[in-house]
Every structure is written in structure tokens, then in C-alpha cells.
Structure 1
Amino acid sequence: MGARGQSTGPKRFGLADICCAVGLAFNLMWCSLEGHASCFAAAAADIEPLMNPRGFWLLGFCLVALSYLLVPHWLKRWETTLRGIVPLCGTAGTIAFALAPLQQTIPPLALSLAGLGLSGFGYFWFASRCLMLLARARSVVSIGWTIVGAVLLKTFLLPLATDYLDAGAQVAFACAIPVLSTLLLWVAQLSLGVSTVFSLARPLRAERLSPAAQRNFILLLLLSAFLLATVRRLSFWGTWGEASTFSIAPLWGLPELAVMAVCLAAFVWGALARTEKLPVAFRFQPAIVVVVTGLFIAALGQPASNPLVSSAVAVVIHVDEGCAYLLFWAVIALSLDTLDIPPFRVLGTGGIVYAGSSFLWVALGSHIADMGGAIVTLAAYGGVMALMWYTYRETRLRSDEGTGSVSPEAATGTAELRTVEQDEGGNRITDSIAERCDILSTRYHLTRRESEVLYLLAQGRTRTFIQEELVLSVSTVKTHISHIYTKLGVHDRQGIMDLVLESDSGTSESAL
């Protein structure tokens, strides 16, 4: 199939996007039903003296993120098996949480906590795989539109589920969601012609960054995770039960839904699509400004005795939450392209920071009666300071690169880690690297695995990265690279780059 295989999938909006949007909407509803539906209130009340129940749900979320960081190879090897087991565990967790206070065979509190942990585990397991599939098959902006569809669909369907389903039907629906979401993800994979999310090679859609710039980009990843956790702490969904700041009842009429749709669409168009051609380091700064501004508005509006002001602030917070959610997953998607970190570890890093920050907010809220404007203002101020620091560091990096003043580490690594942006005629080479790898693979009769290794080598990936990405041993990677060198008649990576990035593409293709 060549170096990329089916690396980018269909470019147009299609069945995969619809399935992912509906699956993500169901996933969001699953969490919301467990946290706020009356059928789970009795189980939540038993946990409240310890901590808000969402804190224990976050522990399961955190467990997935930790497994991504610590045992990615094991997860990849057992991906097919886990695809069937984890949804069933999520369903079992929901059943355990709902039925815990209705039985005495198992200590109700222990059963409730175990159920919450399994639910949090299943939630992030599905969300991360769904977004990884989209990140490998779609652009960052396309991912943004899919997430907007998921958020709006959840916002529309959730009141219908809580208003028109009785307690038993709500529990049954919540139990079915993990299985339904997984089936939708499976259909999305089939529509792209792949068996697992790892069957799609990562596209090369963005400029490659020097090691120093990559470290700075990680700061952006951490900041986006912290901002999402902070905004969710203000939201109705950020804490579970009656202690939430805002009531759901007056919010989700059609006018509020329309306002939310317009705001999120404007965010995707203005803060993601319009900045798509900016350098990677700067393209998310407008989005961060929007999210931090929403935090400041929310802080200034709390507490509000006027019902109109209170409702307006509530809408601002819910819109800001959607923007923060979009920002977080957009940064994750671009991190998969720009960072020399295996995808599981990118997801694990973002997930750990988000879960840890959220857990901290929940823990503080369980012991501090008023988590209002002052603390939120400090959090927003911290976000501004982090953004300023990020901008300052990136400006310095760009300035150093422009003047040739590069650190010794960058000087030794930049040439290999960066993708050449333009050829002598001004044409972008990044768009043709995959095609040239396909040509080389066909011409020199590379195996499918050798083609995948060649594609990663052409991106400047290290052997360690290739080992993590393709789930191969060190010796196997060395063997594949040796075979590639032999078949292509080169002696090192520079020889490969000379073939792949040959300036005269017409001469190269005709020779092949």
C-alpha cells in the first residue's frame, strides 16, 4: 500500500465524522447522567461526606492516562481485546454505582466507588481513541467541527433523556452508552477501512519543531488541560449533585442552545480555522485568550443576585466550557503531529494534567464552602501569565533561529527533526513526502512494515519513537532500518532524505 497506507483517510465530512460526533455526545451524556440524574442521587449522597463523587470518577480517568504513560506497548498489543472488555466494564461500573445503595451483599460505599472508577476509566478510554482516530484522519479544524456537533447534540438530547425517561430507563440508557459508543467507533473505523485506530499512520500536516520549541509546545498542552479543568469547575458539570453552581432547568431551552451553537461555530472559525496558517507556536493563542476572557467574565459575575445576570453568566460559562474543550483536543491533535512523543504518551500527559487539576478543584471544593470569584480570578490570572511566558519563550526561540543563535542541542538536532518547508521553486514539500515514500516503496519493493518505517524516518523520527509508534522491539527496528538502507542503496538517514526530499521532483519521479 506504500509508506502511508491509508494514512489520511477521506478528506470530506463523512460517516466516520458522524459516528464520532454521536459517540462523543453519548459519552458526554454518560458522565452527565451519572453526575446529575435523580436515579444516581442516592449513591452520590453516600459518597458526599468523603468528597464530591466526581473526584472518584476522575481517579478512573487518571488510571487510563497513567496506563498510556507507563504501559503503552501492552495497551497496543491488547487493543482488540480491550475494545470488547472496557465497554462492558464501563457498563458494569454504571450498574454498580446505581444499585449500590439498594443492596447489602457488598458494602454500598465500596461498590459505589468501584463503579465510579470503572465509569471514569471507560469515559476517557473511548474519548481518547475517538479523538486519536480523528487526529489521524482529519485536520484540526475538522476535528473542531466534529466536537461542536457532539457538544450541541449532547446539550439537546440530555434534557430529553432526563425529562422523558423514568429512573429505571435512565439507568438502562446510561448502562448502554459505553457499548453504543464503542460500536459507533467501530463503524467509524470500518468507514475509514481500518481495524484499529493504530492502523492509520500519522499524517505530516504541520511544521516540525526543534527540540527546544517542542518543549515549549508541551507547555501549551499543559496550559490547555489546566484551563479546561478550571472552566469545568465553574460549570454545572464540574461537580456532581446538588452542590453545583447552576441549575440545569433554565439553561437549555432552544434560545440558549442557539446562542451556544453560534458562539462555538464562531470560535472554530475565528480561533482555529482562521489561524490555521499561522506558525504552530502561535495558532492557539487567540483561542487561549477567548477561554481566559470567559473565566474573567465568570469571576466578575459571581455571585449574582439578579436572576438575569446569573443566567447570562451561566451561559457564558457553558460556552466557555465548550471552547476550552475544543482548545484541549485541538492542541492534543496537533501535538500528535509536531511532538516527537508517541501518541499514547501525548494523550497520557494531557489526561494526567486535566484529571489532576480537576481532582484538585473538586477536593478544594469539598472543603471550601465558597469557590467563587476570587479563586477563579487567580486561576484565570495564572492562565494569562502562563500564556505570556509561553509567548515570550517562543518569540525568543524564533528570534534565535532567525539570527542563527541556536543552542548546541538545537544545532545538533534541528536539521534532522525539521521537515523542509519549501523547495527551490517555492512549492511545499511536506505535502509530497508521503507520495515520494510511496514511490520509493514501490520502486525498491519494500515490505509494508518497511514502508511504515521509511515514512517515519522521512519525518525525522528517532528509532525510539518508531519503536513506540509501531510497537516493535529495538532489534526489529534496527533490522527494518538496515533492510531499508540496503534496498535503497544508502548508508544513513541523510541518504534517505536526499532521495525523499530531492528538489527536482519531476526528475525523481521519472527516474523511478
Structure 2
Amino acid sequence: MKAAETDQSLSRQRALLVATVGFSLFYAVCVSFFYSTWLVGHAEEAVQGFDNVLNLAMLAAAALFFLLVRHWSDATQKACLLLGYLALAAGIIVLFFNTVTPLSRALVLFSAVCAGAGMSLTAPFFFASLASFSPKQIALGCGAMALVGMALDMAWSFAAPPLLLAVQLVALALSALCLKRSFQDCPSEATPEATASGPDPLTASGQRDFFNVFLVSIIGTFALSVVYGIIDTTAAGIGPSVKATAGISQVGGLAAALVFLGYFALAKRTSATFLFNLVFGLLASGMLLIPFLPNDYMVTLNIVAAAGWKLVMLSLFYLVVITYAHARTQLLAAMAMTYALPRFGLFIGLNVALLFNVGDGTDIARTTTVAFFLLYLIFMAVWFANTHERRRALKEMQAAYEELGRFTKESGDYRKNLAEELAAEHGLTNRESDILQLLAQGRDAAYISETLYLSRNTVKSYQKSIYAKLGVHSKQEIIELFTPKEAS
């Protein structure tokens, strides 16, 4: 028995490792597009145009996926996944040829459309591959995905274009094999293990809490993404080069992944909602100081904001996965929008900054960050109010259970005392007194027989004797006899 349990545990650990490795390889390819690794050294306008089209394509594909996936069969979902992989491969190949032979701007933007659509059609399935594991394993999988993916992108960005093409296509193919293997090793629906461990307040209070996950977490992250886009653009305008700013963001991502992994690996009691709101509050407080500090502060804030934003993203991914771990289709739909919406927020922030020519810490950046801080306070007030109401309801429920327990005990004591009085008054034996108490609860002969280890004929014999001694003719009369006078 122990050997079988050990084999099962090792099998699940291997399945988690395969899912995490596949997710890390896939995410590394995505990061290359996010940071425009292929376009390093090109004009800043080309990088911005590519990034804009990429984010818009991600949102459009995610919205379409969100609306249609719940109507798709398994075969259609697999076809969508294949289409996503083909689109990503096409985006890589087109950008590779752009590094060798200059292509038209239209083809470069086409590669952005392919990459953005491919990521939105593929990423949700990787999150679904983690859903059958425990909450802690899901958190560690998300953290490892971010850490390894970011590190791989930073490592292979130094490779020559032909090698980079080969490495990324191989990584994409291996991620597909890992994803296929992970779904073969683990069922689509979450196993009991997924709910057996924790603890997490979202899991403990109900995994389908739409309010906390979406109205607060996702909308709050989207607002943070808009402001982060403005801060990133402002810091790039007054500080280092665009390439250096991207490096700062990558280092921030590595730091965020390490903090996330450390928290869930070492803390005895973990709460993603606590981590989410703590980071959110620190960032919002830092942004509030922008109007009162010199422009150099923007560069420092950008480093902190990069790490904080990615830490919030990891917490958000984790929250959504454990919320819909038992509903695969809903998880796919939710993760499609969760993966794309923050990137769209960055797109809005970037273009707002460019529209108002934010490059030197101008009033629009300051006003936006202060407005965001106030918006954050509103969201947190609603969240805490909802949490307070839930806790109040739990306390009332606990009080009701305690009251019910006291009532049950008092009722049992009342029946026992009354049975003893009737036994003394009418000459009942100890066994008849025991059966009388059970009859007063409305129990039938079968229940009394199993409880007192008597045959049914013996119980019926005792029952007739009790009726005769008490002068009653049915069990209902005994129940009425034991009903308190105030309640009758």
C-alpha cells in the first residue's frame, strides 16, 4: 500500500515537473516577444509599433477565445491550441528573416499579430495543465515558469539570429510535447489533492468567488498596468536607454519570481490575496510620492514597479487558477482574459504617455498616479467591506451551529431526565428507558436495533411493554409526551 502511494506521489511530481518545464519554455518564447528581443538595435518607433500591434492582437484573440471556448468541443479546443502554436512559429520565422534581410513594415507587424494571437490561444492551456495540483504546487509552478522563462530569454538573447531561431523553435516544440504529456498524466478536472491542501483564504471561503478575483484583482491589476506603462515610458525618457529600461524590467521580473517562489515555498501559512494587496498597497503608496520627489525618483520607482507589477501578475494567475481549478472551460476562458488584459493596460499607459509627450515627469504622469492611488483605495475599501461581510456571515453561522449544539445537548438532557422520571414512576427497566429515549427522538425499530445491538423482534417486544406501562398506543404519543410544555 505504501509502495503504491509512493509511486503515485512520484508520478504526480513528475507530471508537475513536466508541466512546469513546458510552461517555462513557452513563456520564454513569449517574453522574447514582450521585450522585442528580435528587434533589439532597431529604431524605437519600430519597437513601439510592434509592441502596440502585439498587445492589440493578444486582446482581440483573448476576447474571441473567451466568448467561444465554452461552446467548443475537445476537438475544437485542440485545433485552437494547434493554431496558436502555428501562429507563434510563424511570428518567430518572420522576425528571424527580418534580422537577416530587411522586410517590409507590414510583415513585421504581421509577425506581431501572429505572436499576439498565438499567445492568447495557447497560454490558457498551460495554466489548465497546473489545475489538477494542490494550491501550493500551482503557486510554485507559476513562480518557476516566470523565473526560468525570464532567465532563458535573457540567456538566448545573446545568440546569433540563426541560432536564436533554432533555439526558439525547439523550445516551442518541446513545450508542446510537455503540454501533451501533462494532460495525459493528469486528468482535466482537479483531483481531491487540489483541495486537500492550502491554506488559502480564497480556497477556504469558496473557490468560485467572482467578486474578489475579478472585480478587485483583475480590474486592479489592469489599472496598475496602465500606470506602470506611464511610469515605464517616463523613466525611459529621463533615464537610461530603451534597451537598458527593458533590462531593468527583466531583472525586476526575476526578483518578483524569486520572492513569489520563496513566499510559497517557505511560509507556513500563505495567502495570495494578502500578497496581492500588500504589493498593490506598497506600489500605490510609492506612486503617491511622485509629485513631491525629483525626476530621478522615477527611475528607482520604475525598478520597484517592474518587480511589483510582475509579482501582482503571478498572484493574479495563481488566484484565477485555484478559483476555477474544478471547471476546465471556465478556467480557459478566465485565463485568456487574465493573460491579455494587463498587457493591454500597458499598451494604454504607453500610448497615453506618448500622446501627452510624457518624458520628463510631467503633470500627466503625476496626476495619473495620484488618481490611481485613489482608485486603489476605492477598490480596497470594497474588498475589505466584502471580506468583513463574509467574516460576519461566518461568525453568525458558527454562532448558529454552537446554539444548535447547545439546544441538542439540552434536548438530550431533557429526554434523559424525563425518561428516568417515567421509568421510576411506571416501573421501566434500564433497557426500556434507553429505548424510550430513542422512541422520543422519532427513531424506528431498525435504528434502535442497530444502535443497541438488539434484534428487531426484541425491540418490538420492549416497545409493546413500554406502551402498556405508559398507557400510550403509538410512537407519536411518546414524542408528544416528551415535548416541553412551552413548545406544545
Q: TM-score, normalised by structure 2?
A: 0.62
Q: 1:295 to 1:170 in 2, by over 3 A?
A: farther
Name which of structure 1's ranges 76-85 and 118-127 shifts more when overlaid on structure 2: 76-85
Q: 1:155 to 1:264 in 2, by over 3 A?
A: same
Q: 1:110 to 1:178 in 2, by over 3 A?
A: same
Partners of 1:337 and 1:238 lie apart in 2 by 39
Describe how 1:206-221 pairs up with structure 2 within 5 A: 206-207=203-204, 209=206, 214-215=210-211, 217-221=213-217
Partners of 2:324 and 2:352 lie apart in 1 by 33
Partners of 1:27 and 1:311 lie apart in 2 by 30
Provide the alpha-carbon RMSD of the alignment. Answer: 4.5
Is there any run of 5+ residues in structure 2 with no aligned partner, and where? 1-7, 197-202, 406-450, 452-488
Aligned partner letter, 2:31? S
Partners of 2:174 and 2:324 lie apart in 1 by 27
Q: 1:260 to 1:43 in 2, by over 3 A?
A: closer
Contact 1:39 1:170 in 2 (8 A): no
Matched residues, percent identical?
13
Q: Is 1:25 the counterpart of 2:24 in the alignment?
A: yes
Q: Runs of 4+ in structure 1 displaced over 6 angstroms?
A: 101-104, 234-243, 250-253, 301-306, 338-341
Aligned partner letter, 1:70? L
Question: Which structure has the larger Rg over C-alpha atoms?
Answer: 2
Q: TM-score, normalised by structure 1?
A: 0.60
Partners of 1:82 and 1:240 lie apart in 2 by 38
User: What is residue 277 of structure 2 aligned with on the other side?
Assistant: 288
Contact 2:287 2:373 in 1 (8 A): no
Higher relative helix content: 2
Once the 2 structures are TM-superposed, how far is the Cα of residue 120 of structure 1 from its aligned partner?
1.4
Q: Is 1:335 the counterpart of 2:323 in the alignment?
A: yes
User: What is residue 128 of structure 1 aligned with on the other side?
Assistant: 124
Q: Is 1:186 the counterpart of 2:180 in the alignment?
A: yes
Q: Is 1:388 the counterpart of 2:384 in the alignment?
A: no
Q: 1:127 to 1:318 in 2, by over 3 A?
A: same
Name which of structure 1's ranges 31-40 and 152-161 shifts more when overlaid on structure 2: 31-40
Is there any run of 5+ residues in structure 1 with no aligned partner, and where? 1-8, 277-282, 405-419, 425-506, 508-512
User: What is residue 67 of structure 1 aligned with on the other side?
Assistant: 64
Q: Deviations over 1:441-461 (max 9, x none)?
A: xxxxxxxxxxxxxxxxxxxxx
User: What is residue 54 of structure 1 aligned with on the other side?
Assistant: 51
Once the 2 structures are TM-superposed, how far is the Cα of residue 59 of structure 1 from its aligned partner?
2.2
Once the 2 structures are TM-superposed, how far is the Cα of residue 153 of structure 1 from its aligned partner?
1.8
Aligned partner letter, 1:335? T
Partners of 2:106 and 2:235 lie apart in 1 by 20
Aligned partner letter, 1:354? P
Contact 2:123 2:336 in 1 (8 A): no
Aligned partner letter, 2:106? A
Describe how 1:29-178 pairs up with structure 2 within 5 A: 29-36=28-35, 39-41=38-40, 47=46, 52-72=49-69, 73-74=71-72, 76-99=74-97, 108-135=104-131, 137-163=132-158, 165-178=159-172
Once the 2 structures are TM-superposed, how far is the Cα of residue 181 of structure 1 from its aligned partner?
1.9
User: What is residue 200 of structure 2 aligned with on the other side?
Assistant: none
Describe how 1:356-435 pairs up with structure 2 within 5 A: 356-370=344-358, 374=366, 375-399=368-392
Once the 2 structures are TM-superposed, how far is the Cα of residue 114 of structure 1 from its aligned partner?
2.1
Aligned partner letter, 1:330? Y
Aligned partner letter, 1:379? F
Once the 2 structures are TM-superposed, how far is the Cα of residue 227 of structure 1 from its aligned partner?
5.6
Once the 2 structures are TM-superposed, how far is the Cα of residue 14 of structure 1 from its aligned partner?
1.9
Q: Deviations over 1:9-29 (max 9, x none)?
A: 959872233233333333333
Partners of 2:178 and 2:144 lie apart in 1 by 15
Once the 2 structures are TM-superposed, how far is the Cα of residue 152 of structure 1 from its aligned partner?
2.2
Aligned partner letter, 1:291? F
